[in-house]
């Protein structure tokens, strides 16, 4: 798992939202298939034939291996109980968003598929917006125009956050057309998005060392995020950043309240002595 398990009421919110949707609006699930490869096939068995769309199937040379990890959209309906059973398997993974919009499934697919690959500094990158750990940081880094191009006429875009609860993107419903080609980001935007992913990278590296902690994944991320912010302010050497994060996690009973530049200075001095 990469995030906390769903809170018990999370999926029960979906039929309520569907019932409250304004006339002409539809709910769509955006599911990041990379965390459960081939999951779209299981979903495809329990939803109507034309209610599912893969975003990667418009990419040149898409193979079945590529499609198995593709983000995909599902037109949601409350009368699909087997779909709810499958969605329980997404618990603990940052892979579920809900978009409320007036667009049809083909229209929304076209809009979002454009954003699967972006350009920055003359290079192309897989744009990981379906990963709900990345989504908020991505949306904040985009310009107002780019946000409107991505969300289009959507009046609500919810995603499962690190604590397993629904959070909201600040969509406006302003219906700008999607970019005609691969969206291009400024290097500052790209850098902001890379920085947003650093706490997860640190936690992954520590996991590769065999380290784990008893408190929740969302709490671990909060501790590491705070530790890195302090490291940035203090100009901590790159080769010490991982060890500093590990020390903060080991002392998490104090980390939530007592992380500071002074504490980092004492820790760094201790590293020199050892």
Can you give the pLDDT at residue 261?
80
Q: Chain-wide mean pLDDT for the chain?
A: 93
The per-residue pLDDT for 272 is 67
The label of the residue with tokens 């289009």 reads: 152
Q: Which of 141, 101, 127, 117 is nearest to 21 (CA)?
A: 101
Tell me the average pLDDT across 57-79.
93
Asked whether the predicted pLDDT for residue 256 surpasses 60, the reply is: no
> In the chain, what is the straight-line distance between the N-terminal and C-terminal CA atoms, in Å?
35
Mean pLDDT of 255-260: 62
Tens of pLDDT along 159-204? 999 999 999 999 999 888 888 778 999 999 989 998 899 999 999 9
Domain residue ranges of the chain, discontinuous segments joined by +? 13-185, 192-273
Query: What's the burial of 90, exposed, middle or buried (CB within 10 Å: 0-12/13-18/19+)?
Result: buried
Helix, strand, coil % in the chain, rounded to nearest 5: 50, 15, 35
* Percent of the chain's residues with pLDDT above 70: 97
Per-residue pLDDT at 182:
80
The answer to whether residue 122 scores a pLDDT higher than 70 is: yes
Residues 115-122, mean pLDDT to the nearest whole number:
90
Classify strands 184-185 and 117-120 as parallel, antiparallel or unpaired: parallel
Residue 255 has pLDDT above 50, yes or no: no
Q: Express each pLDDT in 202-239 by its tens digit.
A: 999 999 999 999 899 999 999 999 999 999 999 999 99
* Range 230-258 average pLDDT: 84
**Residue 266 binned pLDDT confidence (cut-offs 50, 70, 90):** confident
Query: Is the pLDDT reported for residue 254 higher than 80?
Result: no
């Amino acid at each position: 798992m990469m995030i906390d398990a769903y809170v018990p009421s999370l999926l029960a919110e979906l039929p309520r939202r569907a019932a409250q949707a304004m006339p002409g609006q539809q709910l769509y699930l955006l599911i990041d298939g990379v965390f459960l490869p081939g999951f779209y096939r299981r979903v495809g068995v329990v939803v109507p034939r034309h209610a599912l769309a893969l975003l990667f199937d418009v990419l040149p040379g898409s193979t079945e291996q590529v499609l198995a990890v593709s983000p995909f959209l599902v037109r949601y309906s409350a009368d699909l109980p087997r779909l709810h059973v499958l969605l329980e398997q997404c618990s603990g993974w940052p892979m579920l968003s809900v978009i409320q919009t007036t667009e049809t499934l083909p229209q929304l697919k076209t809009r979002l598929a454009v954003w699967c690959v972006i350009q920055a500094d003359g290079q192309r990158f897989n744009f990981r917006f379906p990963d709900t750990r990345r989504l908020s940081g991505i949306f904040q880094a985009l310009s107002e125009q780019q946000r409107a191009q991505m969300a289009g006429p959507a009046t609500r875009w919810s995603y499962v956050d690190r604590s397993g609860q629904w959070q909201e993107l600040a969509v406006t419903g302003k219906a700008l057309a999607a970019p005609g080609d691969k969206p291009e980001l400024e290097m500052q935007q790209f850098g902001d998005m890379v920085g947003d992913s650093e706490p997860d990278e640190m936690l992954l590296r520590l996991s590769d060392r065999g380290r784990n902690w008893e408190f929740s994944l969302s709490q671990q991320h909060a501790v590491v995020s705070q530790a890195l912010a302090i490291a940035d302010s203090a100009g901590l050497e790159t080769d010490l950043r991982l060890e500093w994060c590990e020390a903060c996690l080991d002392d998490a009973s104090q980390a939530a309240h007592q992380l500071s530049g002074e504490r980092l200075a004492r820790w760094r001095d201790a590293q020199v002595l050892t």
